[in-house]
Structure 1
Amino acid sequence: MIFGALYFGGIAIFMGGIGFKILQKAVPDVDPLITLNQFLLYWVLGELALRFFMHQMPVMNIKPLMTLPIKRSKVIQFLLNKTIFSFFNLIGILFFIPFSAALIYFGYAPLQVAAWLLSLMGIVLCLNFINFLINKNNTYFYVIASFAVLSVLLNNYNIISFTKISESIFYALYQFPYLVVFPLLLAFILYKSNYNLLAKHFYLDGIIRKKIEKVETKDLSFMDQFGDIAPFLKNDIRMIWRNKRPKQVLFTAVFFVFYGLFFFTFEIYKDNLFFTSFASIFITGGFLLTFGQYVPSWDSEYYKLMMSQNIPYYQYLKSKWSLMVVGVLIAYVLSIPYIYFGIKIFAMISAAAVFNVGLNSFITLYGGALNRVPVELNVKASAFGNTQGFNATQLLISLPKMIGPYVIFIVPYYFIGFKAGIIALSLSGILGLVFTKFFLKFIEKTYQKGKYKTIAAFAEK
């Protein structure tokens, strides 16, 4: 993580230093500062999306202080002030400071540049505090995500120019330095909003009290035909049926079936093989990628009890794998209408489905051995609830699942042709199915090796 921070921090500084020249060469007829300001609105939306999945409030620092004779206001201020010095806030500033220095070097007014830079720092703080409000209520995220998609579509079809709107907003911060008070004032208002929200839930009984709900039962006896893995499959289906987090994952997986409509309807993406393979993996692998990445975190609340029973790890992993395979097959059936966009695109989707079943499923299960983030299944959206369970480890694990299919496809495609790429991608998945037992045994050994580390990590809530 330290090396990652140094790497991305170094890139931000380097790009900020040469950014002026890059923009000047890319759009020679436009002021580089204006060019940058045209896309800052998308930077705001993109950073909000990144923070939603990876930036969480360090609530573990606040719980031990709740039993000590320290004023509530002091503890909450400590928590909020700690978030200000997050790496997520620093990375943007590391880009804008050298870029601002370059502006001054090339003759821009120092006072106006300083006001513009201070305004952007205020906006970074706004994003910091907005993110915590989003984490407490998913409605905020859905609104922002919908606005982001809508703005891209409207701008692409020249209905509303959001680049012009972005330019008007952010370039005004440079033209009129006194406008710096608005981002800073908004950051203060959001700070107070977070403070009030935390203060409202700052009670020990609010954390430990359990909400009693009526449990619904379903007859799942038909699954007994699956043999030894049937109890695990029943447990997962009940978990999805009864709890909020798994339901959200299931809805997300359904959304991914329609993912191709975004790529296949735009000419800029339609003929791009990277985006075609990328979309194909998500269309059929939505459930695999969303549900599978939280194995074994789904069982974190009773993992210690489960590991104390005489339960073979192999059966446990095979049940998770079987459930992911069924998810891929259902998504593939639902993707049949994509034939409308051409046989080549549907062939790519079909090959990606085989790859998801034969290789991506095992890569996902293997990644679970490195995922030791507990998931609270039915957590209510509150100031002290971990509603994400997403970390940098999972992001790194996801890279081979998304890039791997493209690499397998592009090499034979480049030397032979499209059909060769499709065959190579399909054969890689079929090969994985042939060695299913071998892969599951290998993954089982990996889980057994880290068993006690996983138990200890899940106990640290």
Structure 2
Amino acid sequence: MIKNFLNFEWKQFARSSYFQKGIAIKILLALAVLYFGGIALLVGAGLFFILKKAIPETDPLILVNNFLIFWFIFDLALRFFMQQLPVMNVKPLMIVPVKRTTIINYLLGKTALSFFNFLPLFVFVPFSIVLLVQGYPVLNVVCWFFAMLFLVLSNNFINFLINKSNTYFYVLISVLAIFIGLEFLNIYKVSAPIGVAFNTLYNNPILSIIPLVLMVVLYAVNFNFIKKEFYLDDAVSKKVKEVNAIDLSWMNRFGSVAVFLKNDVKLIYRNARPRQVMMMSFLFLFYGLIFYTQETYKNMPAFLAFASIFVTGGFLLTFGQLVPSWDSEYYKMLMSQNIPYKKYLESKWYLMVVAVAVSFVLSTPYIYFGWKIYGMIAAGALFNIGLNSFITLFGGALNRVPIELNVKAKAFSNTNGFNPTQMLIALPKMVLPMLLFYVPYKFISFEAGLITLGLSGVLGIVFKGFFLNKIEQLYQKGKYKTLAAYNEK
């Protein structure tokens, strides 16, 4: 039966309209896997010697064990955003004589093949080999390695659960922030007791059974969670929900684009997925603290320009990059209306502009780092409004991955809306502002770099109509391809 499932998925992929595009993207992803996998191998092979040279008085393995907790929590947060959960159209299988347990085991088994499960192995395998070469006990090292493997897979199944509830994710992020704050502010060394636990696990090989039991328990929890909702009547029945009405009449002042703006505000207000993205975009305001507080980056102003784009561009870079996928569930209805496509795109532009403006106001405390830093944030805000917004809308024309706003259905349908094409479109959003700032900064002055970056955004605003017309033509050209792609759910 597993062989049949694999055959079904291959046929679904090969017969889809995005087959050729999918092949090209998978080649790029394979190259990315080789690149990051190679880096991980080098890190794993050299980690022992790097730590030995940096802190010769402490055993490198003890250092690694002390900070493993940060690795696993960060890995879990990264999985939440990047790891695609297993996707399978299960409704047709519900009415044929196939055991539910077989389907669920297949779905959960697919998660073990994720790149996020293999990447840690590229570090742990060479690191463990180095430990053996250095004379560490074979049994202890082997059991420690398998314990790490079980914990990586446990993270995989935890991610499967937290993707069903935003509450788990917010708790996770809060715990990570608290741990890092306590550690680096020297309030309490979180690494000490947790490091003792991992060191004890290494010193007592029999304890490696604990991570194994944890992995099995999490697998069982996921299995029961899916099985509980694996019923045809639950999949096809309509659920009546009370809609919370909000008064948006004040938006009528925006004229013909008001109807689209109201629709977007209601979409964010009523659905968990866009609401979650909006909340996470708020965290981008703190991105500057990574760069502005470090002396190293003060000598690399191009990276400060990079950070400034993120401070005010959180909503644009998260919510904006998924336009028009947010409307995929009713895109056919929108396209059948007698409305100018340009108005639809203009409403998205206004939404991003307002978000950038609000973020800029909220970034006022960065004045603490000096007027030059705040001036860079202001220039970055203008760039986001005048150019990044149009680059984002342009990327939307190439994004044909549908989004299902019902997060609860995430285990059985593609709700990620993630497309590797977005990664390619993201490059000019990051590289262009750095170039616009760095070239005049290098040959003239810091202020010249700020003015160039800010003026590029002003020019974008001046030629707004021109850019929207060109982007509209691109959307119109791919309109029916987009509609066909949104039907492939």
Q: TM-score, normalised by structure 1?
A: 0.90
Structure 1 position 432 matched with structure 2 position 460:
yes
Name 2:73's counterpart in structure 1.
45
> Which of residues 102, 120, 126 is equivalent to 2:130?
102
Native 8 Å contact 1:338 1:345 kept in 2:
yes
Aligned partner of 1:365: which letter? L
Name 1:151's counterpart in structure 2.
179
Name 1:412's counterpart in structure 2.
440
- Give 1:187 shift: 0.4
Native 8 Å contact 2:441 2:447 kept in 1:
yes
Native 8 Å contact 2:367 2:374 kept in 1:
yes
Aligned partner of 2:264: which letter? D
Native 8 Å contact 1:104 1:113 kept in 2:
yes
Native 8 Å contact 1:135 1:387 kept in 2:
no
Summarize the Cα distance change of 1:258–1:43 in structure 2 as closer, same or farther, 3 Å threshold: closer
Aligned pairs for 1:8-157 (under 5 A) are 8-60=36-88, 62-157=90-185
> Which of residues 451, 454, 458 is equivalent to 2:482?
454
Aligned partners of 1:330 and 1:447: how far apart in 2? 28
Name 2:337's counterpart in structure 1.
309
Name 1:191's counterpart in structure 2.
219
- How big is the alpha-carbon RMSD for the aligned residues of Structure 1 and Structure 2? 2.7
Unaligned runs of 5+ residues in structure 1 are none
- Give 1:270 shift: 7.7
- Give 1:32 shift: 2.8
Structure 1 position 202 matched with structure 2 position 223:
no
Name 1:293's counterpart in structure 2.
321
Unaligned runs of 5+ residues in structure 2 are 1-28
Native 8 Å contact 2:40 2:119 kept in 1:
yes
Summarize the Cα distance change of 1:104–1:371 in structure 2 as closer, same or farther, 3 Å threshold: same
> Which of residues 269, 278, 285 is equivalent to 1:250?
278
Return 160-169 or 374-383, whichever deviates more: 374-383
Native 8 Å contact 2:309 2:380 kept in 1:
yes
- Give 1:264 shift: 5.0
Secondary structure in structure 2 of the residue aligned to 1:136? coil
> Which of residues 362, 369, 372 is equivalent to 2:397?
369
Native 8 Å contact 2:88 2:413 kept in 1:
no
Q: TM-score, normalised by structure 2?
A: 0.86
Aligned partners of 1:174 and 1:216: how far apart in 2? 54
Aligned partners of 2:238 and 2:303: how far apart in 1? 45
Aligned partner of 1:112: which letter? N
Return 188-197 or 78-87, whichever deviates more: 78-87
Native 8 Å contact 1:257 1:331 kept in 2:
yes
Secondary structure in structure 2 of the residue aligned to 1:375? coil
Aligned pairs for 1:351-362 (under 5 A) are 351-362=379-390
Structure 1 position 180 matched with structure 2 position 208:
yes
Name 2:449's counterpart in structure 1.
421
What CA deviation, in whole Å up to 9, does each residue of 1:387-439 have, x standing for no partner? 64334433443343244433432343344432222122212222322332332
What CA deviation, in whole Å up to 9, does each residue of 1:35-65 have, x standing for no partner? 3333322211111111101223213154442
What CA deviation, in whole Å up to 9, does each residue of 1:288-320 have, x standing for no partner? 222211200111011122223343322221221
Summarize the Cα distance change of 1:391–1:143 in structure 2 as closer, same or farther, 3 Å threshold: farther
Native 8 Å contact 1:126 1:187 kept in 2:
yes
How much identity, in percent, do the aligned residues show?
A: 57
Equivalenced residue count is: 461
- Give 1:354 shift: 0.6
Name 1:398's counterpart in structure 2.
426
Aligned partners of 2:121 and 2:395: how far apart in 1? 33
Aligned partner of 2:268: which letter? I
- Give 1:87 shift: 1.9
Name 2:358's counterpart in structure 1.
330
Aligned partners of 1:287 and 1:436: how far apart in 2? 20
Aligned partner of 2:183: which letter? N
Aligned partner of 1:79: which letter? L
Native 8 Å contact 1:137 1:381 kept in 2:
no
Secondary structure in structure 1 of the residue aligned to 2:405? coil
Aligned partner of 2:339: which letter? I
Name 1:3's counterpart in structure 2.
31
Aligned partner of 2:75: which letter? E
What CA deviation, in whole Å up to 9, does each residue of 1:316-358 have, x standing for no partner? 2122112211221222223334323321221121111111101
Aligned partners of 1:19 and 1:439: how far apart in 2? 49
Aligned partner of 2:196: which letter? S
What CA deviation, in whole Å up to 9, does each residue of 1:207-231 have, x standing for no partner? 2223222334455454444344333
Native 8 Å contact 1:151 1:162 kept in 2:
yes
Aligned partners of 2:275 and 2:351: how far apart in 1? 15
Return 119-128 or 442-451, whichever deviates more: 442-451
Aligned partners of 1:379 and 1:23: how far apart in 2? 43
Name 2:15's counterpart in structure 1.
none
Return 67-76 or 160-169, whichever deviates more: 160-169
- Give 1:267 shift: 6.8
Name 1:162's counterpart in structure 2.
190
- Give 1:377 shift: 2.8
